[in-house]
Structure 1
Amino acid sequence: MATATTHGARDHARAQAGTTVETMPRVPAPAGLTWSETVAGGNYTHRALARGTGLTLTDPAGDACAHLLLFATGRPWERLNVADTVKVLWNAYPGTGHLLLSDQGRVLASITASAAPADTMCGTSTLLRNTARYGDGSPQGHAPAGRELFKLAAAKHGLEPRDLGPSISFFQGVRVDPGTGRLEFTGSAGPGASVTLRAEMPLTVLVANTAHPIDPREDYVCTALEVEAAPGAPTAPGDPLWTATPEGERAFLNTADDLAARGIQ
């Protein structure tokens, strides 16, 4: 179909209606979901989610690496604080039942189910590092850096590069060697691994699906990531997660206090 004219370009564009590809958002989302998308390796996605939403990330092929940044929607100054998450929960390897805290001591999200390693130590890749290692770290290049993709996702929510703190990642594991203190890359949990987060306040989620920064493989390796979100209820005082630890209970109380003051149920 000729596209040299305006009419030809229009007809060509309209002929694409209904076309699907392997990695794309599904709009509208399937019944029961509010978000459904397959994110290609080396790509990103983002969404503002309602309080109580369950967000499930799945690694179908075994080589996805989901780097996450979380923000209280409309409040760029309140965001995921990885250091506080590790410090307050006494755990550098978050899993089922752990909380992801903001820098205000409140619960942004809880991990309700996880069969995937979480890395709180390495953050995501940078333009400089990927350019030195792979020859290109630009967003449109063959080895996009996670921070560069985060910048694009952030801009769509009025966020700036200065708003981007350290991220948490899922699916590619890292451990600290107890003898040397060095970081060891432990790799994937395998095809089909998943993690589910619950939004404990209105949440803006940025996701960069990029190769882990200390993945020792010579090539840039990152496969597709499945993202699904469904409506749900936030953690309530009667939930065992609320009182699982004194530190966690305090964080939930801080969250409830803030939401009540803003009229959010």
Structure 2
Amino acid sequence: MGTPSAPPSVTASAYGARAHARAQEGTPADAMPVVPASEWPEPPPGVAAGDLVWAETVAGGNYTHKVLARGTELRLTDLTGDACAHLLLHCADRPWERMNTADTVKVLWNAYLGEGHLLLSDQGRVLASVVQDTSGRHDALTGTSTLARNAARYGDGTPQSSSPAGRELFKLAALKNGLTPRDLPPSVSFFQGVRIAEDGTTVFTGSAGPGASVTLRAEQEVTVLLANVPHPLDPRPRYVCGDLRVVAYRSRPTAPGDALWDAAPEGRRAFLNTADHLTARGLA
């Protein structure tokens, strides 16, 4: 008796491939991101479905990106307690102005991200503000993982592997927005914390647990790049990263008279710099 032949692939012909692709409509594999975002089944409390502009769940080891209008609020939620949202921000129409983590820490006299913190560019302007935080476990000091580090730790760090590095995923997100690897500065990360001990050593504090969220408000039109990968200091030997929920909706930018505008002299100056720039361009 001969060896049984394998059944023909359902995608062996163009007709079969088309039928297979169309059969995916409405399945989880086809559902992310939700388009239009207004069909997302769980808008944040107080947010009308019609105000949603971005809604998806990003699995561990994956990335996403979007250009958001000024005043848009972006809510990130760690669904399992194992997500780590590495974030980069660029001004949408002039990507040479981008988030500067050193100035974000230095100008505001605070190395620990949280509610009320401003994400600054190297021009002293506000790209986004943190308006809500239930996690308290974030990091503006370490950056994301690299190809070499993941290859040493997990055996591979390429985007197609089972252990992609954050910088490699950022490169893909950048290319889809007309950016190059040279446009990728150090990132900040949310939901996996780092603290500096009295002796100067870096201490990984991990997650606050499932369901923690952080909400950012875009203070200019920004290109958002997100990579959901394990934190570089996560001590676990396996590549562990849980689902990240990403939901954005229309709101309004911070304005004079808002508590955040006047919370600190350095922040007020950054908001004034931002308003001056936008006013000169006829955008505010």
Query: TM tier, shorter chain?
Result: over 0.9
Unmatched runs of 5 consecutive residues or more in structure 2: 1-8, 41-48
Contact conserved, 1:61 with 1:191, CA < 8 A, in 2? yes
* Paired position in structure 1 for 2:43: none
Match of 2:277 among 246, 250, 258: 258
Correspondences of 1:120-159 after superposition (within 5 Å): 120-159=140-179
Q: Within the alignment, does 1:164 sit opposite 2:172 as a pair?
A: no
* Paired position in structure 1 for 2:44: none
Correspondences of 1:66-85 after superposition (within 5 Å): 66-85=85-104
* Paired position in structure 1 for 2:196: 176
Match of 1:35 among 24, 49, 54: 54
* 3-state DSSP of counterpart to 2:96: strand
Higher mean C-alpha displacement, 1-10 vs 233-242: 1-10
Report the CA distance between 1:198 and its aligned residue: 0.2
Match of 2:25 among 17, 35, 59: 17
Contact conserved, 1:23 with 1:39, CA < 8 A, in 2? no
Q: Which has the larger radius of gyration?
A: 2
Deviations 1:185-208 (A, max 9, x none): 101011000000000000110000
CA distance in 2, matches of 1:172, 1:145: 16
* 3-state DSSP of counterpart to 2:182: helix
* Paired position in structure 1 for 2:128: 109
Report the CA distance between 1:98 and its aligned residue: 1.1
Correspondences of 1:196-207 after superposition (within 5 Å): 196-207=215-226
* Paired position in structure 1 for 2:34: 26
CA distance in 2, matches of 1:77, 1:2: 47
CA distance in 2, matches of 1:199, 1:89: 18
Report the CA distance between 1:23 and its aligned residue: 7.5
Q: Within the alignment, does 1:45 sit opposite 2:64 as a pair?
A: yes
Contact conserved, 2:76 with 2:247, CA < 8 A, in 1? yes
* 3-state DSSP of counterpart to 1:137: coil
* 3-state DSSP of counterpart to 1:14: helix
TM-score normalized by the length of structure 1:
0.97
CA distance in 2, matches of 1:221, 1:152: 21
Higher mean C-alpha displacement, 229-238 vs 18-27: 18-27
Match of 2:208 among 160, 177, 189: 189
Contact conserved, 1:23 with 1:38, CA < 8 A, in 2? no
* 3-state DSSP of counterpart to 1:71: strand
Match of 1:91 among 110, 114, 131: 110
Indicate the structure with greater strand content.
1
* 3-state DSSP of counterpart to 2:65: strand
Report the CA distance between 1:258 and its aligned residue: 0.5
* 3-state DSSP of counterpart to 2:217: strand
Q: 1:51 to 1:177 in 2, by over 3 A?
A: same
CA distance in 2, matches of 1:5, 1:236: 58
The letter of the residue matching 2:33 is P
Report the CA distance between 1:113 and its aligned residue: 0.4
CA distance in 2, matches of 1:142, 1:92: 32
Higher mean C-alpha displacement, 15-24 vs 193-202: 15-24
Aligned length, in residue pairs: 264
CA distance in 2, matches of 1:103, 1:93: 18
* Paired position in structure 1 for 2:257: 238
TM-score normalized by the length of structure 2:
0.91
Structure 1 segments of 4+ aligned residues over 4 angstroms from their partners: none
Deviations 1:201-244 (A, max 9, x none): 00110000000001011111101100000001000001011111
CA distance in 2, matches of 1:15, 1:120: 43
Q: 1:15 to 1:23 in 2, by over 3 A?
A: closer
Report the CA distance between 1:11 and its aligned residue: 2.1
The letter of the residue matching 2:10 is A
* 3-state DSSP of counterpart to 1:78: coil
Higher mean C-alpha displacement, 105-114 vs 14-23: 14-23
Q: 1:141 to 1:23 in 2, by over 3 A?
A: farther
Report the CA distance between 1:66 and its aligned residue: 0.2
Contact conserved, 2:24 with 2:30, CA < 8 A, in 1? no
Q: Within the alignment, does 1:8 sit opposite 2:16 as a pair?
A: yes
